[in-house]
Amino acid sequence: MEKESSTGRKAVSAEQSVSQTRSMKKILSGDSIFKGITICFALSILFILLLMVYEMGRESFPSIRQFGLKFITSSTWDAVAEDFGALPFIYGSVISSLLALLLATPLSVGTAIFVTEISQKRIGGIISALVELLAAIPSVIYGLWGVLVMAPWLQRSVQPFLIDHFGYLPFFQGAPYGVSMMAAVIILMIMIVPIITSISKEVLMAIPQSQREAAVALGATRWEMIRMAVLPYGRSGILGAVILGLGRAIGETMAVTMVIGNTPQISLSLLSPAYTMPSVIANEFAETTTRMHSAALMEIGLILLAVTLLVNVLARLLVWSVTRGTAGGGRIQ
Amino acid sequence: MGIKLKLEGVNVFFGNNRAVKDVNIDFHANMVTAIIGPSGCGKSTVLRSINRMHDMVPSARVTGKILLDQTDIYEKNADPVSIRRRIGMVFQKPNPFPAMSIYDNVIAGYKLNGRANRQESDEIVEGSLKRVALWDEVKDRLKKSAMELSGGQQQRLCIARTIAVRPEVILMDEPCSALDPIATAKIEELINELKEQYTVAIVTHNMQQAARVSDYTAFLYLGELIEFDRTGKIFTNPEKKHTEDYITGRFG
Ligand SMILES: Nc1ncnc2c1ncn2[C@@H]1O[C@H](COP(=O)(O)OP(=O)(O)O)[C@@H](O)[C@H]1O
Ligand SMILES: [Mg+2]
């Protein structure tokens, strides 16, 4: 995309230096009108983003001024007393996303390795298609399944088991509610596996075949080849895929809201209900009564936006560092 | 001198395409054998059949016999991994592992055999790098990335990595085609020295190179072996008209 437009620009400027009249004609041609329109569209996206940040900053200003840094260190969330601290939501978002990532990463990278390095092409294709199908399921469906099927199952069998056998650990204490941090982690894990898998797959497919041959020619087995040539080469790209999954997990709203229990508390126990930043915004925004309440929600939104933008930019850079130069990420033979 | 490696009626198929047809070549121990021929005639395909590289391509199939010290490497219970440790390969484009240091690149293959202790590794790295005349150029930056080296240095590093495994045979697929003339001269000199210890097979599309470095030459055309003989004979007095035409540049 970028390459195309920059060469296009070069072509136009060359044309201008050749002949003024010809370039006049060129400007009015369908091609350049179309290009102008698409550039406007592209710029408008950037403009909308900036406008959004500005508006959110303005709207949240009362809260920023009133609470300052205390906003992210305090655990009080009291709409009546107009005292707001976002720590439980930040905690809930960070912990649920990181734990989901911890579970999803080995699963996803393992799947990507299986599909690109081990399985036959046809079987690999079927598995990739199935995994990508997971990404197409609307998040409310995940939430519905989570709250109707998974949470009761957790409450009935998994959580009592954990309490009985691992109850001495701080992570498995309290009553089995079903809806809990644990439920959110599992749902998020399922939801981010497709993105991590498919991007890791792209990264692995972009690794030159000559790297694999180098390892095999030294007498590496298939597994040694993966460990020696494939994974180190794709390291930063896979890290990018993982961080992209993190971005997705942090921003996920619907499914998490339905299964996490929506209780603003900080508890080490995975069995306790918790709350996340997107969930509190979605739940409370329609019923704010005071200016300060909506400003506090806006500030949470601002934090969320900043975190997800940062995470996404970092991830794209890492993925790009591996897949650049291979259009579409195809395997070089 | 004995025959280290013997190709008997080797065919290579990609799907239904028979890329190599009934090829017979003897590789003499401690000699350099060159495989020449026009582009696409199957030189690489022959070479890659010798260390079972085609195992990586699902559509590829090899028939015939390839005897390494009288044992067929395509035998049912032959282990491709241990065969590749005995038959190393250097590729057309230098392919060091970019995430590894120079040191780790050299020792990478050797370490596959099991844990090597520090002193042993140091000795192997130094010995291999000296063997390819790279030691003096890199001894102060062994921990630096291999990607900092020039193309010619990278190719010598790849050769060092190959000999660090202590193979018996070294296969080289146009090892100089990505290099400048000075780097090429260095590699050719190296090939000359390598044959003291190893049996070398080199694919090249450069006939002067074949004439300079090899003892035996095989001329392939359209997947068939046209002529195989001492290099001196092939280049001065070939049996086949076809070979002569190619050597004198009348086609190709
Ligand atoms: N991986 C492969 N899949 C299908 N066909 C191949 C493959 N590798 C080589 N071939 C076929 O084998 C023939 C010989 O190729 P190659 O050995 O690379 O030639 P050379 O090295 O002499 O230039 C070519 O015609 C090519 O089509
Ligand atoms: Mg070739």
pLDDT in tens, A188-241: 999 999 999 999 999 999 999 999 999 999 999 999 999 999 999 998 899 999
Are B56 and A229 within 8 A, CB to CB? no
Same domain, A23 and A120: no
State the pLDDT at residue B186: 87
HSE-CB at A177 with a 13 A cutoff on CA atoms is 19
The number of angstroms, rounded, from the C-alpha of B204 to the middle of its chain's C-alpha atoms is 10
Residues of B in contact with A235 (CB under 8 A): 99
State the pLDDT at residue A317: 87
HSE-CB at A284 with a 13 A cutoff on CA atoms is 27
CA distance A107 to B177: 42
Nearest to B166 by CA among B223, B106, B224, B217: B106
CB-based burial, B62-95: b 16+ in 10 Å, e otherwise: bebbbbbeeeebbeeeeebbebbbbbbbbbbbbb
pLDDT cut 90: percent of chain A above it: 72
Residues of B in contact with A232 (CB under 8 A): 97, 99-100
> What is the arithmetic mean of pLDDT over A58-80?
92
* pLDDT band per the 50, 70, 90 thresholds, residue A23: low
CA distance A310 to B77: 54
Decide if A61 is inside a domain: no
Same domain, A46 and A80: no
> What is the arithmetic mean of pLDDT over B79-101?
94
Where is average pLDDT lowest: A122-126, A310-314, B75-79? A310-314
Rounded to two decimals, the pTM is 0.83
Residue A274 carries which DSSP code?
-
Same domain, A141 and A7: no
Decide if A328 is inside a domain: no
CA distance A81 to B214: 91
* pLDDT band per the 50, 70, 90 thresholds, residue B107: very high
CATH number at residue A136: 1.10.3720.10
All structural domains of chain B: 3-95+169-247 (3.40.50.300)
Same domain, A83 and A168: yes
> What is the arithmetic mean of pLDDT over A269-280?
94
State the pLDDT at residue A21: 54
Are A232 and B58 within 8 A, CB to CB? no
Burial of A100 (0-12, 13-18, 19+ CB in 10 A): buried
Calculate how close chain B gets to A218, using CA atoms only, in Å.
Answer: 5
In the numeric block, the tokens 């240095």 are attached to: B153
Between residues B162 and A289, the one the model is more confident about: B162
Same domain, A45 and A154: no
Residue B60 has pLDDT above 90, yes or no: yes
Are A218 and B109 within 8 A, CB to CB? yes
Distance B173 CA to ligand 2 centre (A): 7
The average confidence (pLDDT) of chain B is 93
> What is the arithmetic mean of pLDDT over A80-88?
92
Calculate how close chain B gets to A116, using CA atoms only, in Å.
Answer: 13
B54 lines ligand 1 (CB under 6 A): no
pLDDT tens digits along B151-199: 999 999 999 999 999 999 999 999 998 888 988 998 999 999 999 999 9
Residue A156 has pLDDT above 50, yes or no: yes
pLDDT tens digits along B212-246: 999 999 999 999 999 999 999 999 999 999 999 99
**Amino acid (one-letter) located at B39:** S
Q: Which ligand is nearest to the CA of B43?
A: 1
Residue A333 has pLDDT above 80, yes or no: no
B40 lines ligand 1 (CB under 6 A): yes
B16 lines ligand 1 (CB under 6 A): no
Same domain, A214 and A173: yes
Residue A17 has pLDDT above 70, yes or no: no
Where is average pLDDT lowest: A28-32, A165-169, A174-178, B91-95? A28-32
Same domain, A82 and A152: yes
State the pLDDT at residue A327: 37
Residue A22 has pLDDT above 60, yes or no: no
Q: Which ligand is nearest to the CA of B39?
A: 1
Nearest residue (CA) to ligand 1, atom 7: B14
Distance A150 CA to ligand 2 centre (A): 56
Where is average pLDDT lowest: A25-39, A243-257, B125-139? A25-39
Domain interval for residue A296: 68-323
Q: What residues of chain B have any CB closer than 8 angstroms to a CB in chain A?
A: 51, 53, 56, 58, 81-82, 84-85, 88-89, 91, 93, 95-100, 108-109, 112-113, 158, 161-162, 165
State the pLDDT at residue B1: 60
HSE-CB at A7 with a 13 A cutoff on CA atoms is 3
CA distance A266 to A89: 9
Q: What is the DSSP code string of B127-183? A: HHHHHTT-HHHHTT-TTSBGGGS-HHHHHHHHHHHHHHT--SEEEEESTTTTS-HHH
Are B98 and A233 within 8 A, CB to CB? yes
Residue A3 has pLDDT above 70, yes or no: no
Residues of B in contact with A221 (CB under 8 A): 81
Nearest residue (CA) to ligand 1, atom 1: B57
State the pLDDT at residue B101: 94
Same domain, A98 and A202: yes
State the pLDDT at residue A214: 96
Residues of B in contact with A233 (CB under 8 A): 97-99
Same domain, A156 and A105: yes
Are A218 and B165 within 8 A, CB to CB? yes
- Nearest-CB residue to B108 (from A120, A121, A228): A228
Decide if A298 is inside a domain: yes
ipTM of the complex: 0.92
Distance A130 CA to ligand 2 centre (A): 38
Domain count, chain A: 2
Where is average pLDDT lowest: A220-224, A231-235, A307-311, B200-204? A307-311
Same domain, A46 and A73: no
Same domain, A162 and A310: yes
State the pLDDT at residue A8: 45
Q: Where are the alpha helices (DSSP H) in chain A?
A: 2-18, 20-28, 30-67, 70-73, 87-113, 121-136, 139-145, 151-153, 159-166, 181-205, 209-217, 222-225, 231-251, 254-259, 277-284, 291-323
State the pLDDT at residue B248: 87
pLDDT cut 70: percent of chain A above it: 89
Same domain, A111 and A152: yes
